[in-house]
């Protein structure tokens, strides 16, 4: 029982604090910092509900069983799906693998667009504070949710379990010059990627949306 109770404490993510919002952040398409905050709170509530039930049934937390990249993708997808619930001026892009993730509501038929560049918001979630990646260098309004959370590889290590928490949210309009295209050789099977350069990170860090106190010293 003592072990189970200890495990349950790690199922309770740290809820975002409104004190950590940048009310002066510039976000397009009618999205406000309050809308983003509400979606973040909903994710921590969701994760607490799921993880608590899993551990009560003697299973691993979601973040302890999913591959790190899959968990990060899930965080981003949750925000993308729930942010329009709080902001009526945006909609989730319903096109399969469409870009960007969020579109101006009603502008495109069925809120579906294959690729419209900067006419929307691309959403990513990452455990890393910089060096974020995409598939192509392009003009895009990028919003990144930086978080801390467990990984399957943490099990049985000195690091132990980690409670989930959002560390920061950054967003800005990036241009082609703010990306470095990695490409790949003809024999490589790795996914083609482009990395946000320091120029892009600087734009996003200046327009930070949320920043927990622990991350204030290293944006």
Two structure tokens written together for 111: 């809120």
Q: What is the pLDDT of residue 4?
A: 55
**What pLDDT band is residue 191 in, cutting at 50, 70 and 90?**
low
- Tell how far CA 196 is from the center of its chain: 15
Q: What is the pLDDT of residues 118-135, one digit of tens each?
A: 899 999 999 998 888 776
Q: What is the pLDDT of residues 9-46, one digit of tens each?
A: 888 999 999 999 999 999 999 999 999 999 999 999 99
Provide the total of helices (H) and of strands (E) in the chain, helices listed first: 5, 9
Lowest mean pLDDT among 32-41, 54-63, 101-110: 54-63
Coil/strand/helix, residue 199: helix
The model's pTM: 0.89
Query: What does the alpha-carbon distance between residue 60 and residue 62 come to, in Å, rounded to a whole number?
Result: 6
Strands 133-134 and 102-104: unpaired
Q: Which of 75-79, 88-92, 122-126, 182-186 has the lowest mean pLDDT?
A: 182-186
Question: Would you say 106 and 29 are in contact if contact means Cβ atoms under 8 Å apart?
Answer: no
Residue 179 pLDDT > 80: yes
Rounded Cα distance, 31 and 80, in Å = 12
What tokens appear for 21 in the block? 């919002």
Domain boundaries, the chain: 2-215
Mean pLDDT, all residues of the chain = 87
Which of 28-37, 69-78, 175-184 is the least confident region?
Answer: 175-184
Rounded Cα distance between 88 and 93, Å, is 14
Q: pLDDT at position 138, please? A: 79
Q: Are 55 and 7 in contact (CB under 8 A)?
A: yes
Of 20-29, 44-53, 145-154, the poorest mean pLDDT is in 145-154
Q: Is 141 left (phi over 0), alpha (psi -120 to 50) or beta?
A: beta
Determine the Cα–Cα distance for residues 186 and 113; give it in Å rounded to an integer: 30
User: 3-state DSSP call for residue 21?
Assistant: strand
**Could you tell me the maximum CA-CA distance found in the chain, to the nearest angstrom?**
56
């Amino acid at each position: 029982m003592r072990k189970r109770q200890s495990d349950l404490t790690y199922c309770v993510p740290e809820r975002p604090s409104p004190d950590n919002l940048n009310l002066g952040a510039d976000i397009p398409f009618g999205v406000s910092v309050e809308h983003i905050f509400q979606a973040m709170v909903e994710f921590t509530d969701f994760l607490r509900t799921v993880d608590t039930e899993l551990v009560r049934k003697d299973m691993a937390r979601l973040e302890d069983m999913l591959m790190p990249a899959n968990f990060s993708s899930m965080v981003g997808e949750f925000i993308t799906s729930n942010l329009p619930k709080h902001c009526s001026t945006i909609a989730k892009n319903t096109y399969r693998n469409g870009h960007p993730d969020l579109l101006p509501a009603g502008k495109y038929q069925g809120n579906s667009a294959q690729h419209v560049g900067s006419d929307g918001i691309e959403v990513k979630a990452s455990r890393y504070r910089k060096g974020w990646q995409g598939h192509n260098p392009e003009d895009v309004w990028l919003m990144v949710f930086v978080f801390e959370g467990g990984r399957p590889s943490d099990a049985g290590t000195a690091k132990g379990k980690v409670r989930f928490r959002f560390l920061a949210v950054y967003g800005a309009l990036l241009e082609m010059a703010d990306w470095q295209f990695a490409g790949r050789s003809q024999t490589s099977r790795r996914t083609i990627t482009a990395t946000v350069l320091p120029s892009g990170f600087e734009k996003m860090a200046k327009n930070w949306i949320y920043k927990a106190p622990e991350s204030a010293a290293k944006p």
